[in-house]
Chain A
Amino acid sequence: MATQDSVKSAFRLALFASMFLVLAFSHPVFAATPFTCEQTQFNSTMELCGIAALAMFALIALVYIGGEATQNPRMLTWAKTEAMQAFASLVIVSIVLFVVSTMCDFRVGEISSLVNSTSSMPQIYKLAPGTAANGNDTLYNGAMRYVENLAAVSLSNVNSLRYDLGAYEIRTSYSKFVCHGSCVYSLSSTSVSMFGGESANLAITNNLLGVGTVTYLSAVFQYFILVYIYGGLFTVFLPLAIVIRSVPFMRHFGGSLIAIFVALYILYPLMLVADAYIAPGFAASSSPVKMCDRDGRNCAGAGIFSTATTHGVTCINETADSQCTLRKEWDMEGVGITQHDMDKLQPNSLPAAIRLNVLLFLAAVFLSSLNFIVIAAFGRELSRFLGEEADMSRLGQMI
């Protein structure tokens, strides 16, 4: 009895050790390579899946031969059942690879013709650099481009708010002495802080900066999640899931891993591209919101709210504009000490800053929450279908 237990535990140990080795060996080879729908990555993944399938079929064949030789009906039944399951794994792999390659082949610009017309294509896709212009990105690159632009515009917003805070700080602390004539002799004068009352604006801008930071963090969180998904999920996670699914005692767990893979690797980029298409819809029915270019990056990323016909954000970067007279952060260094210099520090108007924050918050937090609601629902259903139910709602709570 003790011998049987030790054999079982040795087998479990070997199983976990082999899983660990699969992870350890695959990591340095693939994780550093960014995902670009390259043929080599497909080949590597298919190779791993093929090896896993062959190993499984070899094992089944051995068991079957052993069963025939010893006339053991349990071994024969086991081999038949596992052969069916290995075949099911192969079918799943084929479907997954087919969908992934389709997503690599599909161009984001093609969605605009499906949705409505070419005018509905987001500017970030239409004006993308190089060969990606005019919606020529793959779905994976399109998802990454959207998240990058979202993070960029969120950071520009944080910079803009930081400028506003600095401007309010300088203006509220500014006071001047009003000389009434006698001050020349007695140094008597009246002191007044011309912008002292803007401390209320300062408090509100401070709060907006908090919201803006949450927005930026959410966008960056999505960016790194996507980097992680593209970096290792396809080349490591899928083969591992297939291998585990082929192991008789861990089939349900392997099925759950496949469901997580499909939800994150296939549905999540799709949802992000859908976000890119619907984000301009936020501001389509209202006038554009003004964004001051304070960091000299020309409101990079604001194109996520624009199509050929709608412009959600107008970038104010002209020196002549009254809202952005002194438009860059570094211009604060030599601002001067007169009231005119203080006037030149004019921050963005509060309603415009609030509106821009709300727009970005909805794009970065609200839409991503919706994404994870859908992904969690899909992942739960698929994992139930393939094996054990996996609760993915925690991902949404991270947002």
Chain B
Amino acid sequence: MRNMEKTAIPRMLVFASFALAILASLGNAALPGNAPSSLFPHYLLALDFQYASLALLIPFAIVAIAYMASYAFNVPHIRAILQDEALQIIATGAVALTLAGTQLVVDEYTVAVLNGANATGNNITSTMDAASSVLTFLETKTIEVQDNLATVSIALGKEASKSVFCNFMGVGFTIGNCGPFNAYRGSLTAAMFTTSTALADTYAQEYLLSLARNYAFSILIPLGLFLRCFKVSRAAGGSLIAIGFGFYTVFPAVILATDNLLQDSSVALPSALPLVGTCDPMETNAAAARGDFIDYGTSLVAYDQAESIEYFVLVRVLFMSILNLIITLSFIRAFAHMIGSDIDVSSLARIS
């Protein structure tokens, strides 16, 4: 039994060193100034292997020193714990490689599919770029919708406020012929309110994507790998890894997937609502004023127009943004659980 233990430990150490050496060599390949590896094109190599390997080497060195100390001070009962810890470091290294590999596969697959499907622009280099361009498109269109709603609302408010005051022999009269137009303002405000929420969601997604692009694989995941190597901080490390990977890889992929689900839809992009015409407050013909009111109302709620705006704002932007975040957070929770961290993402889910 003792012999088996003696032979198992060197095997494990050799295996661990081998895994770390691979990581370190990948780190050298990814260093700035070095030619990109032919195996991993540099733009697809998101994980900073230099930091990742450092994050694993430090705990490994600590465990190795503790292992030596267990012999020096003759404390055999902590060796089993240290062996477990060494195994956890190796598992963490495997997690790092798996993350990088998954990111690579997702990127390659997405780039191939999108470049194949998109005949006009073959300049998509990563899932992140593709998701960013989708969000930029949604943002531009949502701003257009909101600007249009604001313009229409302001013009409508101005026309609806018109009234006539007349003073005849000491008696004053006020007539507000254009007042009925106020009836449409509440609905327009509600529409604008919804659009502003959709715009806020789009901005939030863009910022999250930007954060993940810049720091997920350079800070969050290496820090998570480092923390995961120690028993007491394993859960914290796992949660950081899950959050970083979730927002870097899963979130953009989900954005693309959910948006592409709607590509076959025949609903047109939102068109501009018509502006109200000039209302004459001195118009004495009530039928004419009523006719203007009905005509404008009809033009506001024309089916194609309302459908396109509602579909775009409510479904394509608002609903999808919530769905994207829910899916990503669910993944983060499940993935964190898988790598040994049970985290409560309910507070984040509430924000979404």
Using a CB–CB distance below 8 Å, which chain A residues touch chain B?
A: 114-116, 172, 175, 177, 186-201, 203-204, 207-208, 267, 274, 277-278, 281-286, 350-351, 354-355, 357-359, 361-362, 365-366, 369-370, 372-378, 380-382, 385, 393, 396-397, 399
Contact = CB atoms under 8 A, between A and B. Distances in A.
A376 B157 contact: no
Given A189-B165, A200-B149, A281-B210, 4 more contacts: A199-B185, A278-B211, A350-B150, A381-B231
Interface string B159-174: 0111111111000101
A265 to B, nearest CB: 15
Contact of B344 (A284, A373, A385): A373
B42 interface: no
6 contacts: A199-B153, A201-B192, A373-B347, A376-B344, A381-B236, A399-B347
Contacts of B156: 197
B207 interface: yes
Contacts of A114: 51
B344 A393 contact: yes
Contact of B160 (A196, A375, A380): A196
A114 B209 CA distance: 23
Interface of B: 51, 132, 143, 146-147, 149-150, 153-158, 160-168, 172, 174, 185, 188-189, 192-193, 196, 199-200, 203-204, 206-211, 213-215, 218-220, 223, 227, 231-236, 238-240, 243, 281-282, 341-348, 351
B143 A351 contact: yes
A197 B158 contact: yes
- Chain A: interface secondary structure? helix
Contacts of A197: 153-158, 160, 185
Contacts of A361: 204
Contacts of B146: 350-351
A121 to B, nearest CB: 13
A194 B158 contact: yes
A188 B203 CA distance: 50
Contacts of B143: 351
Contacts of B199: 351, 354
A180 to B, nearest CB: 9
Contact of B214 (A177, A281, A350): A281
B347 A200 contact: no
Contacts of A278: 211, 214-215, 219-220
A365 B196 CA distance: 19
Nearest to A189: B165
A374 B210 contact: no
B286 to A, nearest CB: 18
B211 A274 contact: no
Which of B165, B196, B219 lies at the interface centre, i.e. has the most chain A CB atoms within 10 A of its CB?
B196
B344 A200 contact: no
Contacts of B351: 365-366, 369
B211 A281 contact: yes
B159 to A, nearest CB: 8
A373 B348 contact: yes
The 9 closest A-B pairs by CB, nearest first: A197-B157, A193-B161, A197-B154, A378-B236, A281-B214, A196-B157, A377-B235, A285-B210, A187-B167
A207 B196 contact: yes
A394 to B, nearest CB: 10
A362 B210 contact: no
Contacts of A365: 351
B175 to A, nearest CB: 10
Nearest to B233: A378
A204 B146 CA distance: 11
A281 B165 contact: no
Contacts of A399: 347
Given A277-B219, A377-B236, A186 B168 contact: yes
B214 A285 contact: yes
Given A200-B188, A284-B210, A284-B214, A358 B200 contact: yes
Contact of A193 (B158, B218, B232): B158
B206 A286 contact: yes
A19 B232 CA distance: 28
B239 A374 contact: yes
A373 B344 CA distance: 7
Contact of B167 (A188, A194, A282, A350): A188
A286 B344 CA distance: 31
Given A190-B282, A274-B223, A200 B233 contact: no
Given A187-B165, A197-B158, A204-B193, A354 B347 contact: no
Contacts of B185: 197, 199-200
A214 to B, nearest CB: 10
Contacts of A116: 218
B40 to A, nearest CB: 20
B231 A385 contact: yes
Given A196-B160, A377-B343, A186 B166 contact: yes
Contacts of B147: 351
